[in-house]
Structure 1
Amino acid sequence: MADGGASFGYLGVSRSLSGRLWRERPADAELVRRHQLSHGLSEPLARALAARGVGAEQAETYLNPTLKALFPDPSTFTDMDRAAAILVDALERKRPLVVFADYDVDGASSAAQLVRWFRALGHDLPIYVPDRILEGYGPSPAAFRRLKAEGADLVITVDCGAAAHDALACAAEIGLEVVVIDHHLMRGEEIPHVAALVNPNRPDCVSGQGHLAAAGVTFVLLAALNREARKRGLFGERAEPDLRQWLDLAAMGAICDVTELRGFNRALAAQGLKVMSGWRNPGLKALMDVAKGQGPASVFHVGFILGPRINAGGRIGRADLGARLLSTDDPQEAAALALELDGLNASRKEVEREVTEAAIAHIETESNAPDAPMLLVAQDDWHPGVIGIVAGRLREKYRKPVVVVGVDRAANVGKGSGRSQPGVNLGRAVQAAFDEGLLLAGGGHAMAAGLSVRPETIPELRAFLCERLAAETEIAAAEDALEIDALVATRGADRALWQDFQRMAPFGPGNVEPSFALADVRVERPMALRGGHVRCTLTDSSGGKLKAVSWRVEGSEAGRRLMTEGGAVHVAGRLKPDDWQGRCGVEFEIEDVADPRRA
């Protein structure tokens, strides 16, 4: 399928209009043949599986990911059985419980699962979600003191808590019992002193499920709770909860937290989308209705329609709206919450657009050189709820690590959020900056980080991060390549091809969506769309015509080339379904463009 040697790039593209090398995704030829023969797959599809590391013995569960085949033993998670025993005991003794959740989709969907399980057992479980701006991320001593004063006896933290050492120490002092359900990386070997701490990323956990979102860990906890309650005979007079009805919530967390969709997590996402497609959760149905979405649930619906609206509550609205939406059984309450979240999401988009435009102006005219190893941009009063999204947008545009800081002059502090390029460990650099005394707080992982900084220290911080990341960024830029799964013609890029590759869905980290290349295509009827997008038709010598769109390319070299008819180009991207008005066709989503004369 390849055209051109590796040194010249796929289709000869060593440098596209975005500056990237194209290369064919490598796959073992013998494994490709085994997949073809064993499972009756087309060569391109078998090749795509092999290229994603799917071995001969794994292909069956990959193509048909079931919970029965992939569900882990809850007991392999450290403290899982202990947590289940504590919570069922609290249920039996009617202790006052509160679930303390993070303000994003993963936190909301984790909390909603627990609320629904306890409700099925006849117990009302209140939700507490900290305000992003006033309280910050995760548990705090002040929040725990407040919950204790209001009568809470036991707090279950979900999607947070594993690193909240000060808050957990405070809880111990005031006699507040805490069970932590988390998935975030933990620093060092020290385990906080709590009643139970379930986290597949704690150093002594042997579950092998470190890629799960908190919603996935919570779903395993529900299985442990059912097992413990069954052992105590609690299902003699009431039905045992069927956990499958809440798979849609587990899938929400897995997809929106951008976790690796492999193994058990892939089964959660795949089966959860099937459950979601019935739209039996009143909150999800109301949100889908207000967003005017349609059809069976997909990763697109979760990641681009439902997820951003749920997150909008935590970003610029009331932090608990998402968790309340996902846990309510009242259609009227769900409709009201969905309407409020939809409005907040519209406001979030406008705030995000303003901050993005201002940040680009800073980068290109003031505070940063566009060719610096990393970009750090800061301005007064940028909303802390959108700086992470803006950092991600800028990372896509400039293809290097970006940190965006919103400065609060009254408090004399800047809150920053960063997103990184593959191969550049931004979290480690931020931790080093904290160790150097340049930050008030800071941490994260390779691809994302958060920080707090004094405004007067920002220039010094920028210089430190640029120096610290220079070597990694240089190597990452040299290796910044777009990997292609198959070369297709416009006539062959049809619904049947898209349907064939849907056997690999759901897509996400650890199972990237297939990327196709079209060679020597001509661009016809280009049209600039609001938002900086370009829509056009692609034609080639096969005689086919393929509708295409390229997102957010205004002002880029690729965008300008797509708006210019005449002359052949190579394009790379993904096939998407086009079901508008019952068409049942496909559209090509262009990710990159190469000029054969310059590639």
Structure 2
Amino acid sequence: MHSVLGFNWQQKNFDERHATTICQRFQLSEILSNLLASREISLDEVENFLQPKIKISLPDPFELSDMGKAVSHVIAAIQARKKITIFADYDVDGATSAALLKRFFREIGIEVNIYIPDRILEGYGPNSQALLNLKKNGTDLVITVDCGTVAFKPLEDAKLAGLEIIVIDHHLGVLEKPEAIAVINPNLLNETFPHKNLCAAGVSFLFAVAINKKLRESGFYSQKKEPNLLDLLDLVALGTVCDVMSLTGLNRAFVAQGLKVLKQRKNLGLRKICDLASLDEEPNSYHLGFIIGPRINAGGRIGKSDFGAKILSSEDESEIDEIGAQLEILNRQRKDIEAQVLEEAVKSLEAGINGFAISDPVIFATSKNWHQGVIGIVASRLKDLYNRPVAVIALDEEKGKASCRSIAGIDFGAEILNARLSGLLLDGGGHAMAGGFSILTEKIPALHQFFCENLGKKIIEITAKKNSEFDIALDLVQVNIDLLKELSKLEPFGVGNVRPKFLLRDVVKVNARLVGQSQDHISCVFSARTALGFNGQIQAIAFRSANTPLAQILLDPKFTKPLNLIGSLNVNSWMGVERVQMVIEDILIPITFKKPRFKFTDSKLNHKSHHTVTPHLLRGPSRQRLDFIGCDQMDPATSAG
């Protein structure tokens, strides 16, 4: 069996004896036990993995360097009635961090302000002018969240002006610390705190826990009700998923418990966003990352930067209704802008414009016409398309601003920091999977060379591997709602705990059609062929596959061979009816032709445009990922090879 997309699929190895022990000791099914074993979950970890508990996973927040110093200073500021402002980034992690702290302070009777810089006019992180204006307008203490670790000059200017600063961040830092009363960041170079994968919202939650503990010990709650900090975990979960943090350990507990809080719909802003998105099913990590998150982000990307923080922290229903409606409009506009920029970026790269190409180890896409608010999403799309680290740079006069996305195994944030220390960047930072920078236009070629030289060898090693793994092979008769409900015990899914991949054996296509606003997805129905005829059916969908080799199999009405599908399973709810759906990632089919020629059909043109291609020409990366030499995944051409 060979893959349509050219991958060598094999079942993931796991300790079968360990799986059997899990099955017997915890009375779990064979399938679930096998999946736990393949994730190398020890017997001691099984219960907390399946039912993550905050009280088991939560560390002592005072293990973080500078936490005690920061907490003491904040309590002193509260007692002195100092004016406090939260200075946050404009993305989801920044918005959730700011909203979390504002809600916490409000619960203990302290009103704080939130300041979010404008993405276009001010850029990322603290800037001197904004901090000096805050001081001028009466702010005594600024708490930066999701930014500030490397803001050396702005924080130095703030100190000279008499403005107190506490930094709460998670981005990679250097040995030098900025001028601040305290810097709380698990990713400082000399930090020993073990939980390195926290987002800013997670660090902010630990900050709130630490303040709350000290207030409790001081008798602060003797005459008032202590806030339930667990009610803030919906915000932590949202920030964690949207900042693409690993959903293991403490983060797994944060997200699992946060989803339970989200289900209770206590946060009025989140409730409004869910209602506007017609989210009427139990929320999971997918909804956080792909339904709620993009709407929060829309304000910071192309609208008002503070919309996200405002709607997540507000208790004013009229304000929430107004912002929610505007975010819906902005999100639709964002999609249109994103699609246009993505199309232009793909055309530019495949034509080799500006000297950058899809064959580069690190892909750079640049233009003077791109909106800065969508370049991060476009970078993510290009990374998925070409399986390379990507920097998308929006040029403006003599400077460029970039958003970067990486692939597993390549720490882009660390390399951005190296480039900054090497004098190639004006500013920049990030973490392993994402980052950003600003740069003089004239230095872009040198930066590209710097990245390619430093990362190229490792990138080539990673991307050259065509081996992929699935978890378990299933027959269609095994796939049902009960199986999906049991698999849900493995949630939340995300980085570090990916949704299981299955091989669905020997199914036959019943029908297939193009769906979606752009007609770029393929919806299918499959059945199992038995000696007695067809038995059972499953719905399936192949996202963004209309112009890929998958379309040649799925949209060909004459192709009736049994197939093995590779993909994930989920529950598709529609009009109150739940059905199992497979999300197709690849297709395995038998080799029946030795060396045919192929017709490549443009499915968007209703199969009227055919391009005859011989196998030896299908080399190198391309938009359509035609890297599947030697497989019979396309219609054989009528002429002889």
> Structure 2 length normalisation: TM-score?
0.87
Aligned-residue RMSD, C-alpha: 2.0
Displacement of 1:468 after TM fit? 4.1
More deviation, 449-458/530-539: 449-458
Structure 1 SS opposite 2:373: coil
The equivalent residue for 1:583 is 577
Q: Alpha carbons of 1:593 and 1:370: their partners in 2 closer, same or farther (altered >3 Å)?
A: farther
Q: Alpha carbons of 1:464 and 1:177: their partners in 2 closer, same or farther (altered >3 Å)?
A: closer
Structure 1 SS opposite 2:401: strand
- CA distance in structure 1 between the aligned counterparts of 2:420 and 2:75, rounded to whole angstroms: 41
- Indicate conservation of the 8 Å contact 1:424/1:476, yes or no: no
Q: How does 1:430-441 map to 2 (within 5 A)?
A: 430-431=416-417, 433-434=419-420, 438-441=424-427
- Indicate conservation of the 8 Å contact 1:433/1:461, yes or no: yes
Superposed CA deviations along residues 395-432 of structure 1, whole A, max 9, x for unmatched, are 11112222222211xx3222222222223344455455
Which amino acid is the alignment partner of residue 588 of structure 1? Answer: M
The equivalent residue for 2:162 is 175
Structure 1 SS opposite 2:529: coil
Match of 1:386 among 355, 365, 374: 374
- Indicate conservation of the 8 Å contact 2:565/2:587, yes or no: yes
Which amino acid is the alignment partner of residue 537 of structure 2? Answer: K
Identity among equivalent positions (%) equals 39
Q: Alpha carbons of 1:555 and 1:328: their partners in 2 closer, same or farther (altered >3 Å)?
A: same
Displacement of 1:461 after TM fit? 4.3
More deviation, 298-307/196-205: 196-205
Displacement of 1:561 after TM fit? 2.4
Displacement of 1:61 after TM fit? 0.8
More deviation, 439-448/526-535: 439-448
The equivalent residue for 1:7 is none
Match of 2:312 among 321, 326, 348: 326
- Indicate conservation of the 8 Å contact 1:491/1:545, yes or no: no
Which amino acid is the alignment partner of residue 205 of structure 1? Answer: E
Q: Alpha carbons of 1:122 and 1:447: their partners in 2 closer, same or farther (altered >3 Å)?
A: closer
Displacement of 1:286 after TM fit? 0.9
Residue 51, structure 1, aligned to residue 38, structure 2: yes
Superposed CA deviations along residues 78-120 of structure 1, whole A, max 9, x for unmatched, are 2222222221221121101101111111111111111111111
Structure 2 SS opposite 1:286: helix
Residue 495, structure 1, aligned to residue 481, structure 2: yes
Q: How does 1:337-416 map to 2 (within 5 A)?
A: 337-367=323-353, 368-408=356-396, 411-416=397-402
The equivalent residue for 2:92 is 105
The equivalent residue for 2:586 is 592
- CA distance in structure 2 between the aligned counterparts of 1:436 and 1:121, rounded to whole angstroms: 46
- Indicate conservation of the 8 Å contact 1:160/1:181, yes or no: yes
Structure 2 SS opposite 1:279: coil
Q: How does 1:260-279 map to 2 (within 5 A)?
A: 260-279=246-265
Displacement of 1:77 after TM fit? 1.5
- Indicate conservation of the 8 Å contact 2:508/2:529, yes or no: no
The equivalent residue for 1:240 is 226
The equivalent residue for 1:418 is 404
Which amino acid is the alignment partner of residue 24 of structure 1? Answer: Q
Q: How does 1:28-427 map to 2 (within 5 A)?
A: 28-187=15-174, 189-367=175-353, 368-408=356-396, 411-427=397-413
Match of 2:566 among 572, 580, 583: 572
Q: How many residues align?
A: 583
More deviation, 73-82/121-130: 73-82
Q: Alpha carbons of 1:124 and 1:480: their partners in 2 closer, same or farther (altered >3 Å)?
A: farther
Superposed CA deviations along residues 130-178 of structure 1, whole A, max 9, x for unmatched, are 1111111111122211111111100111111122122221222111111
Displacement of 1:511 after TM fit? 1.1
Displacement of 1:522 after TM fit? 2.4
Which amino acid is the alignment partner of residue 250 of structure 1? Answer: V
Displacement of 1:383 after TM fit? 0.8
- CA distance in structure 2 between the aligned counterparts of 1:480 and 1:191, rounded to whole angstroms: 43
- CA distance in structure 2 between the aligned counterparts of 1:291 and 1:571, rounded to whole angstroms: 31
More deviation, 453-462/30-39: 453-462
- CA distance in structure 2 between the aligned counterparts of 1:205 and 1:432, rounded to whole angstroms: 19
> Structure 1 length normalisation: TM-score?
0.93
Displacement of 1:467 after TM fit? 4.3
- CA distance in structure 2 between the aligned counterparts of 1:480 and 1:441, rounded to whole angstroms: 36
Which amino acid is the alignment partner of residue 573 of structure 1? Answer: G
Displacement of 1:528 after TM fit? 0.9
Structure 2 SS opposite 1:216: helix
- Indicate conservation of the 8 Å contact 1:78/1:204, yes or no: no
Residue 550, structure 1, aligned to residue 536, structure 2: no
Structure 2 SS opposite 1:372: coil
- CA distance in structure 2 between the aligned counterparts of 1:585 and 1:361, rounded to whole angstroms: 38
- CA distance in structure 2 between the aligned counterparts of 1:537 and 1:183, rounded to whole angstroms: 45
Displacement of 1:322 after TM fit? 0.4
Displacement of 1:375 after TM fit? 2.3
- Indicate conservation of the 8 Å contact 1:575/1:586, yes or no: yes
Structure 2 SS opposite 1:587: strand
